[in-house]
């Protein structure tokens, strides 16, 4: 079972991917994690990616797919995997499809977690992070015991730049420009399933499980 998680930043796709990975005992494969792991371990692919990252450049699609295929060739991916954060655009989707096709493989499900922009801006604007220990909270869903203060270490909580409304708005626009076309791409392949991400986290999870059968 090979699954791609789609959805705007803050839609909750990462959380759902983790829950699905646990239920089906398949890896949650995040491209960011793979890059970090390869660079940390000093692999040939990691060092190649690092040459681009050190210059502030995006890692080319072809190299990203090679790193991804190297990861999903591991034994723990034999039953399947969940891709989170890749592909980000149509060229990446084409490269991935071509590479999997050569292996006699394909993506089985593309799960699109749909959440309106205003909900995402409100969700992310409510996040708070501890400047000292990194603990995270949400002023509505997971508030600290004392407003603005971390439960764990007593230090100040902040609204990160990434979660400020103007930054979130920009990120959503980038998502729409680059990643939204993937929804049409996987729809034409007959593997796209849209899920209402505004519902309770458990409800969303149960809906996805029902789709996967």
The one catalytic residue in 2, 71, 123, 127 is 127
The one catalytic residue in 50, 122, 164, 171 is 171
Active-site residue, 71 included: no
162 is written with which tokens? 């990434």
Active-site residue, 128 included: no
Q: Say how far residue 36 (Cα) sits from the centre of its chain.
A: 15
Q: Say how far residue 2 (Cα) sits from the centre of its chain.
A: 15
Active-site residue, 123 included: no
Active-site residue, 88 included: yes
Is 102:65 a contact under the CB 8 Å cutoff? no
The one catalytic residue in 23, 146, 152, 160 is 160
Q: Say how far residue 98 (Cα) sits from the centre of its chain.
A: 22
- As a whole number of angstroms, the distance between CA 138 and CA 103 comes to 43
Active-site residue, 127 included: yes
For the chain, state the CA radius of gyration.
Answer: 18
- As a whole number of angstroms, the distance between CA 15 and CA 105 comes to 26
Measured in residues, the chain has a length of: 213
The one catalytic residue in 13, 71, 123, 128 is 13
The one catalytic residue in 2, 88, 123, 128 is 88
What is the torsion angle, in degrees rounded to the nearest 10, for the CA atoms of residue 174, residue 180, residue 181 and residue 182? 120
**Active-site annotation, residues:** 13, 88, 127, 160, 171
């Amino acid at each position: 079972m090979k699954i791609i998680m789609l959805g705007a930043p803050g839609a909750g796709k990462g959380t759902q991917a983790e829950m699905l990975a646990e239920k089906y005992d398949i890896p949650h494969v995040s491209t960011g994690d793979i890059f970090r792991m390869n660079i940390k371990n000093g692999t040939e692919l990691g060092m190649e990616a690092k040459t681009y990252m050190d210059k502030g450049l995006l890692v080319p699609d072809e190299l990203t797919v090679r790193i991804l295929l190297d990861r999903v060739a591991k034994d723990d991916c034999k039953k399947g995997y969940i891709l989170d954060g890749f592909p980000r655009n149509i060229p990446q989707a084409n490269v991935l499809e071509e590479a999997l096709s050569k292996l006699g493989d394909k993506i089985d499900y593309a799960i699109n977690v749909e959440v309106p922009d205003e909900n995402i801006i409100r969700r992310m604007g409510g996040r708070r992070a501890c400047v000292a220990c990194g603990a995270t909270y949400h002023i509505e869903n997971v508030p600290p015991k004392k407003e603005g203060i971390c439960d764990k270490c007593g230090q100040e909580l902040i609204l990160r730049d990434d979660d400020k409304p103007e930054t979130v708005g920009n990120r959503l626009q980038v998502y729409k420009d680059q990643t939204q076309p993937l929804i049409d791409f996987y729809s034409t392949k007959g593997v796209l399933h849209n899920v209402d991400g505004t519902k309770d986290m458990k409800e969303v999870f149960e809906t996805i499980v029902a789709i996967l059968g």
